[in-house]
Amino acid sequence: MTAGTLHIRGGGRGRAPGERSQRTAERSVRWEWYNAAFPLMEGPRMRYLLLLLPLLSSCASPSRGAVVQGAVEVSDADRLVRDLCDKRLALLGEEANHGNGRTITFKTELIRRLVEECQYDAFFIETGIYDFLHIQARLKAGQPISEDMVASAIGGMWANQEMAPLIPFLSERLEAGTLVAGGIDDQIGRGTYAQRQMTQELISSLEGPRQAECGAELERHMSWKYDDAHPYTAESVKFMLGCCKEMESALSRPGAAATPMTQGQLQMVRNLERNFTRQVAEMTRASEQTGGTQDWSAFNERSRSMFMNLEWLLSRSPTPRKAIVWLATIHAAKDLKGLDTDARHGISFGSYVHERFGAQSFVLGFSALSGSYSIGSTARTRTIEPAQAGSLEGQAFSSHTSDTRYLDGSQLRDFGPRVARPLNYSWMTAPWATVMDGLLVFREETPSHPVTR
């Protein structure tokens, strides 16, 4: 036998002579090509190679269906990090009352891993934009920030023990410049810079008596010191809206200092405008409403405002950011139209994200088989009734004994339309894969534990 032609003894049994000669010719061509490519593989070397090939092939990979000895089970957290790692936006939802201890604990650890392992470099949260803009202006001016500032910026809704580990984690990276943070909402939180100091800094852009007039009305609103002599009405909100428009004009006129502080103040004023515009519209609708289904206009307008803030925050970076967004799942949802409740009339923040970023974004929801939760950071708690056997939560733990169960997008699609409660612990039916990209279900949820700031 030569290295150029491989003769197979007895291989032609049962074949026509023409077929046998054709196959031999094909093999001859293949080996002639191999001999030309690897001229040293002749004689004994070729025989050794032929003997080794079956052995090498059997060692290359286990047979299909074989179990690899010593394989480590992948945790739900590991699966989630894998699913989120290559995304540009990770929307981390939670039940609408924001008082879910296990959910918050899981999310704080997930954020740490996304930052450290996947190079996420932005953290945004469903809270007022104002305090974080103040923090960014201080950082750009070379002024120090404190953990208390970051905690206040996050807001009292998450003033709990479970959120506490995230505060120093964010503060350290904000100081180092390796991460940016921001609020996406236009609402005002209690005990914040926005409530205590922002008004005096913003009205300095006004001149003459308007400074005092606008300052008095805005301060009354921020501290909520309305009384019979000064009631909270649509007219008072319209007055403040007019003040904000005047401040916007002053801050954006040609020649105004384009400092980080001024740019931040301009964004603050624009958010106040959207907030007051929505309040006026809501008060007007309330006076005209005669009953029927819930009006989702305010929700929809707020969703649009939050997305406008996200776009603005992302635009501040010269290079694309990888951003984590912390918010309620009803806001994070990709689409609410498939729900069988009035919520189907809502246009979510997440729908704008999904339209803009598509597969570069990921929506993660949370739910529970049973347990309890708190109302925000208060001591008031509510019981979560045990999940129905045929619900998404019930099916998630069918034949499973773990404490958590992560359903990815493929699994959610396989379940199809099913009753579940990831939005506010109220049962509703939807094709959940159209609402979120993944769902983490806890066997038992627990209330968050409030702290005093």
**177-191 pLDDT, tens digit each:** 999 999 999 999 999
Whether 415 shows a pLDDT value over 60: the answer reads yes
Rounded average pLDDT over 333-342: 97
Question: Can you read off the two tokens belonging to residue 49?
Answer: 């190679």
Rounded average pLDDT over 92-107: 97
Rounded average pLDDT over 112-117: 98
pLDDT in tens, 143-171: 999 999 999 999 999 999 999 999 999 99
Rounded average pLDDT over 430-436: 98
CA distances from 303 to 24, 275, 332 (A): 71, 12, 10
Give residue 73's pLDDT band: very low, low, confident or very high (50, 70, 90): confident
Alpha-carbon span 432 to 66, nearest angstrom: 33
Whether 7 shows a pLDDT value over 70: the answer reads no
Q: Which residues of 230-249 are buried (b: 16+ CB within 10 A; e: fewer)?
A: eeeeeebbebbbebbebbbe
Cβ atoms within 10 Å, residue 19: 11
What is the predicted pLDDT for the residue at 68?
Answer: 43
CA atoms within 13 A on the CB side of 347: 12
What is the predicted pLDDT for the residue at 290?
Answer: 65
Alpha-carbon span 73 to 131, nearest angstrom: 42
Question: Can you read off the two tokens belonging to residue 278?
Answer: 């929505």
Instruction: Pick the more confident residue, 41 or 205.
Output: 205
Alpha-carbon span 2 to 36, nearest angstrom: 14
Q: Considering the chain, what is the average pLDDT of its residues?
A: 87
Supply the pTM of this predicted model. 0.83
Read off the DSSP letter of residue 327: -
Q: What is the dihedral of CA 201, 202, 205, 206, to 10 degrees?
A: -110
Whether 56 shows a pLDDT value over 90: the answer reads no
DSSP per residue, 129-174: HHHHHHHHHHHHTT----HHHHHHHH-GGG-BTTTTTHHHHHHHHH
What is the predicted pLDDT for the residue at 286?
Answer: 84
Whether 42 shows a pLDDT value over 80: the answer reads no
CA distances from 286 to 228, 237, 280 (A): 21, 15, 10
Whether 3 shows a pLDDT value over 60: the answer reads no
Q: Which of 11-25, 284-298, 373-387 has the highest mean pLDDT?
A: 373-387
Instruction: Pick the more confident residue, 74 or 29.
Output: 74
Per the document, the length of the chain is 453
3-class SS shares of the chain: helix, strand, coil, % to 5? 50, 15, 35
What is the predicted pLDDT for the residue at 125?
Answer: 98
pLDDT in tens, 301-324: 999 999 999 999 999 999 999 999
Alpha-carbon span 162 to 104, nearest angstrom: 6
Rounded average pLDDT over 225-254: 96
